[in-house]
Structure 1
Amino acid sequence: MPSSHVCPRYAYRRPAALDGPGRAEDARVVVVGGGVVGLTLALDLARRGVASVLLDEDDTVSVGSRAICWAKRTLEIYDRLGLGQRFLEKGVTWNTGRVFFRDAEAYSFDLLPEQGHAYPAFVNLQQYYVEEWLVEACAATGLVDLRWRNRAAAIENRPDGPLLTVETPDGAYSLRAGWLLACDGARSGIRQALGLPFVGQVFRDRFLIADVRMDLPYPAERRFWFDPPFHPGKTVLLHRQADGEWRMDFQLDADSDPEAERRPERVEARLRAMLGPDVPVGIGWASVYTFRCRRLERFRHGRTFFVGDSAHQVSPFGARGGNSGVQDADNLGWKLAAVLEGGAPEPLLDSYDAERGPAADENILHSSRSTDFITPKSGAALAYRDAVLELAETHALARPLVNSGRLSRPTVLAGSPLSTPDGGAPPAALPTGSPPVDAPVLRDGRPDWLLRHLNTGGRFTLLAFDETGLRAPPAPPGVDLVVVAEREAAPGHLPGVLVDHSGLAARRWGCVPGEALLLRPDGHVAAGFRAPTPEAVRSAHARALGNAVAAAAA
């Protein structure tokens, strides 16, 4: 039962620069890397009206499932970009995780115990589907020039924008980029060409990862085994994917031979030990990886930005790689668009590093701790881990200590230079820097979701809470107004008011009638107001556009 998926091949087009004088070309924005992160960023910019050139040295999507666990916040970002529903329709939805120790279940947990969210905790879906949908969406905008089999072979990072040498099957040309977004992965050629080192750890531990087609009775959930009878002394992870495929991760010895471990007969032998001899299996793809927890010291270098795995790397356990890369793109896209449109000063772009650097540190910290728990490096560490697992079956207090990969959660951008201090904010409100939270609402009497009405035009939003939706607080130019009412008023309420019929919106955002929050185009809270005034909202809006950063730099 081999994988049923066939990767598309995208047509190479001879670049016009090869036939022009000087074999050179200019582009306002260049994205290097046609994986999930590069395509997401190109699409985000296109949705904001910004054209880009995207270079990829290959002519297809990723081979093998790669990133598969798409977290709730990432799904909400893709909903804004027009792809969220496709994840729900094609992928495998799950909220439950189970942890096993030896031959027994230690405990289970629910990642989304409360109801009232448009998206689940996670959807499992092979990366190649996501990339295919992103390619289609980028092409449909007419603003993304997708150039397959165009390799960025060299870079000169000039003050007015990088100069790239791009190699194609027909020869090389020069591409002058106003802004360069390096999304070319863990082996980033742009990073290497600029001589930028990673800081962090590379662990010796090795893991076999495989896509396997098989018919198992397990429900859609995450299963993690410590020291199981079928793989003694090691760990195993199992995830269900679309199309009857399953993702398997087997811990290997640190000195194991990667080439030998990838062979179908070796992979099948491990599966037989786990499942028994009678379960038909088909191996679609297999690879061997090591844990890497490291990052660049800075993500911005002049007019070049590093995004996703080109900027930082974490171990796969916890689903922090692909999700954090998408959230990098979500952070950078609106800022670059605002600067290009003349609506914000260039120092706004420094906040990308100021915000996503700490987010990378947080992910690396969790990933490193997971690695230490999953692969103890000493007898004492192993004894501690096994004791925690034994206690977890009967003692709830031990369960938070079990670390099979702390699963991805969006980062609170604490201390962001774009945030207005919380001194004037509602006392119970989400603190500044917090990511947005969803809730069910009614619009014109019909069920809807709050997040689908925030940042819809790529602009800032003033989210205001009111008793009946009859009052409209001031929203300055460049800021949209969304009013959430406790109850529906008599005829005459403001058009487009959202009714918080369950009370979840007010409870989750921590606001009562008369209070409001200013949200950035990526949904994070920029400021809170007990009673918003035009001056306070304008000041917070200006700060969130980087004007305070620009003033400090002047």
Structure 2
Amino acid sequence: MSTYFQPQKYPAAEFASTGATGEALPVVVVGAGPVGMGVALGLAQRGIPVTVLEAADQVSFGSRAICISRHSLEVAARLGFGPELEKIVLPWVGGRSFYRDEQVLHFEMAHGEHDVRGPMVNVSQSEIEQIMTDTLLAHPLITFHWSSSVAGILRSDEDVTLDVDTAFGARRLRARWVVAADGGRSRMRELAGIRLQGNSYQGNYVIADIHWESTLPAERMVWFDPPSNPGSTIIMHQQPRDIWRIDYQLDRSDDAELETQEDRIRDRITRHLDWLENDVPWTLEWHGFYRAHALALDDFTHDRILFAGDAAHLVPIFGVRGLNSGMEDAETLAWTLAAVVHGTADESLLQAYSAERRAAWQQNVDNAGKSTLIMSPGSHGYRTTRDAVLALATTRPEFGHLVNPRQSSATHAHLSPLTWPVAEGTTGLLPGDPMEDRRVRVVTADGSVESSLNRVRGTGFAVLGVGVDAAGARMIAAHASALAMALSPESVRAVVVPAPGAVVDAAADLTVLDDPDGVLPTALGASAGECFVIRPDGLVLCRVRDLSLLGDVHDHLKTATAPTLGVVPAHTETTATPDDLLRENVWMGLSEALDQAEESDREGFLTRLALLLGSRSGLREFEEALAAAAHVSGKVCSGTPRHSHVDA
């Protein structure tokens, strides 16, 4: 029997309009996807009443986004729905890619003994939304209106008026701030008269969920040009309760309308499962259609309308950055908007949100764009080199890294106007970097107990000192208390790792970590006496050695500025080796050159290139390269699946 998730429907509820003379609502959130609900939870957590408008009468149906990163699970924990979510997820750590029937890549995402959570889990977006909805409906500061779509907007300097179509007729709501989180086809974006800018990629994908009691491992599996569907690319992911997500690419000549009919989808999936020698019955539960986009608004803030998630930006599906980047948007927008609503910061803080999250979109596009050029190459040059890379990778494993999906990881905010500079040459965890959750031990009256950095630092700001003595610990606690008063009702916690031999007593305003071996300072790359200020969204705001500088934190936050002395933190996006980077540059450079070459001269171009490069290498190396290229170009696919690659 299928265990596919069926969302609950919600009745529409009558509500009254808010007139021009009445008090405006503090915040209205348009859109009850994960991003909109994340913003609502973050605001309500900070004591701000929120009204949520959703055009549908239920959460979304179908898996949609399924891969949830470690960082998004941390966000979920801070927003209050993490424990329920983590009960139902399916963890995974890596995956395999195949060219026809040959394995060309086996990757594992980073994970270690001190990590609280694994690098990635799978669960359908609809189930995430249901858990979030249950959390919202139970919160006394959140008012939820289903079947309520925005039909018009009217903006002033002080508020935004929304005309809302409901099951009971037209209503009007006036709000001081409106968060537009209504998805990729955002009605709020349309009404505001703004458009996404960027690129759309060639390549159409059908996505489908099937119920299939398979014994294949829970990992990302990709087949390029499989014998079951020649010329296509097929992606498979397991979800909880024997649901499998299958994505496959359509040929440019395929009729998308025809290929999205259920009989054609069943035929494609049947051919692939038969090739895998499947004898287990399966059912088609849901299907959709996808095309890759890399689009964003130039500015995520438009007067008193603030855009987040897919309403603000779209990223290609590859590397699973859509929902994960949206959750980052939600948490950052929640604490910055709350500070403005409470009057502890200027509206310039919202411009900082916009600058940060647009820069984060660019980070995601830079990584996802490379994955898209492999998964769905949109030009002759990239198609030619992609196929060559795959063929080479069957016998030359060093080329396999080019097929790596570059899975989503937390973005940084190094160029944010909020991020403090550091002294030149500073290494380790830098301002603007995310501080991921780690296992720690906390000193209590009954001895040390296991906890995590996320639980210790709470949902607000934290001031973390490492290698400090008793006097330094007291100074950190005092600065944290002063910052808490200035940012009220935002919480601020003080946490310290004592220096070796130092005696630091835990107190109500100070958490002391038991770390005699200096594991945490080493992981942070910090020396004795340094202090980190961590933002509510987990990013490091500043890293200072002079503890008196902590007294300046609120002034800089209030005006969305950072000190000017020092250097912008350096950041390396990749752990790739120099040889890996060289191959990546060669792949992309050759692809671009092929696209620029005259069609009638492509063979001549490649011959001249080979002669030039061959003349710079030894005869033996050149002959080996010729033999390797001839070997893979002459390979013939056997058409027989090699299960040893996927059953391991």
Q: TM-score, normalised by structure 2?
A: 0.79
Identify the residue that residue 41 of structure 1 maps to in structure 2: 39
1:477 maps to 2:475: no
| Alpha carbons of structure 1 residues 462 and 236: separation in structure 2 relative to 1, 3 Å | same
Deviations for 1:270-295, whole angstroms, at most 9, x for unmatched residues?
Answer: 12211116331111100112111111
Structure 2 CA distance for aligned equivalents of residues 439 and 470 of structure 1:
26
Identify the residue that residue 449 of structure 2 maps to in structure 1: 446
1:509 maps to 2:524: yes
Shift of 1:13: 0.8
Structure 1 CA distance for aligned equivalents of residues 30 and 504 of structure 2:
53
Give the greater-gyration-radius structure (CA).
2
8 Å Cα contact 1:437/1:508 also seen in 2: no
Identify the residue that residue 376 of structure 2 maps to in structure 1: 375
1:431 maps to 2:430: yes
Matched position secondary structure for 1:86: helix
Alignment of 1:105-504 (within 5 A): 105-276=103-274, 278-393=279-394, 395=396, 397-403=398-404, 405-423=405-423, 427-443=426-442, 444=444, 445-454=448-457, 456-458=458-460, 460-466=461-467, 471-472=472-473, 473-474=475-476, 475=479, 476-478=482-484, 479-485=492-498, 492=505, 496-500=511-515, 503-504=518-519
Identify the residue that residue 555 of structure 2 maps to in structure 1: 542
Matched position secondary structure for 1:436: coil
8 Å Cα contact 1:318/1:367 also seen in 2: yes
RMSD, aligned CA: 2.4
Structure 1 CA distance for aligned equivalents of residues 547 and 301 of structure 2:
35
Identify the residue that residue 51 of structure 2 maps to in structure 1: 53
Shift of 1:82: 2.2
Shift of 1:138: 1.2
Identify the residue that residue 520 of structure 1 maps to in structure 2: 535
Shift of 1:389: 2.4
Structure 2 CA distance for aligned equivalents of residues 317 and 540 of structure 1:
38
8 Å Cα contact 1:485/1:498 also seen in 2: yes
Alignment of 1:57-68 (within 5 A): 57-68=55-66
Shift of 1:27: 1.2
Shift of 1:218: 1.3
Identify the residue that residue 638 of structure 2 maps to in structure 1: none
Identify the residue that residue 93 of structure 1 maps to in structure 2: 91
Structure 2: 5+ residue stretches without partners: 485-491, 565-648
Deviations for 1:132-159, whole angstroms, at most 9, x for unmatched residues?
Answer: 1111111222111100011111112222
Structure 1 CA distance for aligned equivalents of residues 504 and 432 of structure 2:
37
Deviations for 1:534-554, whole angstroms, at most 9, x for unmatched residues?
Answer: xx1121332133353899xxx
8 Å Cα contact 1:420/1:543 also seen in 2: no
Deviations for 1:218-272, whole angstroms, at most 9, x for unmatched residues?
Answer: 1111111111111211111111101110000010123433343233322221122
How many residues are aligned here? 543
| Alpha carbons of structure 1 residues 237 and 16: separation in structure 2 relative to 1, 3 Å | same
| Alpha carbons of structure 1 residues 280 and 523: separation in structure 2 relative to 1, 3 Å | same
Bigger drift between 362-371 and 510-519 goes to 362-371
Deviations for 1:319-344, whole angstroms, at most 9, x for unmatched residues?
Answer: 11101111001111101111111111
Structure 2 CA distance for aligned equivalents of residues 319 and 299 of structure 1:
21
Bigger drift between 483-492 and 162-171 goes to 483-492
Structure 2 CA distance for aligned equivalents of residues 93 and 457 of structure 1:
24
| Alpha carbons of structure 1 residues 230 and 493: separation in structure 2 relative to 1, 3 Å | same
8 Å Cα contact 1:69/1:125 also seen in 2: yes
Identify the residue that residue 13 of structure 1 maps to in structure 2: 13
8 Å Cα contact 2:53/2:144 also seen in 1: yes
| Alpha carbons of structure 1 residues 541 and 528: separation in structure 2 relative to 1, 3 Å | farther
Deviations for 1:489-518, whole angstroms, at most 9, x for unmatched residues?
Answer: 669455631123664422222213311111
Deviations for 1:431-452, whole angstroms, at most 9, x for unmatched residues?
Answer: 2111112222112322111122
| Alpha carbons of structure 1 residues 453 and 271: separation in structure 2 relative to 1, 3 Å | same
Calculate percent identity across the aligned residue pairs: 35
Structure 2 CA distance for aligned equivalents of residues 98 and 500 of structure 1:
38
| Alpha carbons of structure 1 residues 374 and 502: separation in structure 2 relative to 1, 3 Å | farther
Shift of 1:467: 6.0
Deviations for 1:365-402, whole angstroms, at most 9, x for unmatched residues?
Answer: 32332222222234442332233223435545423322
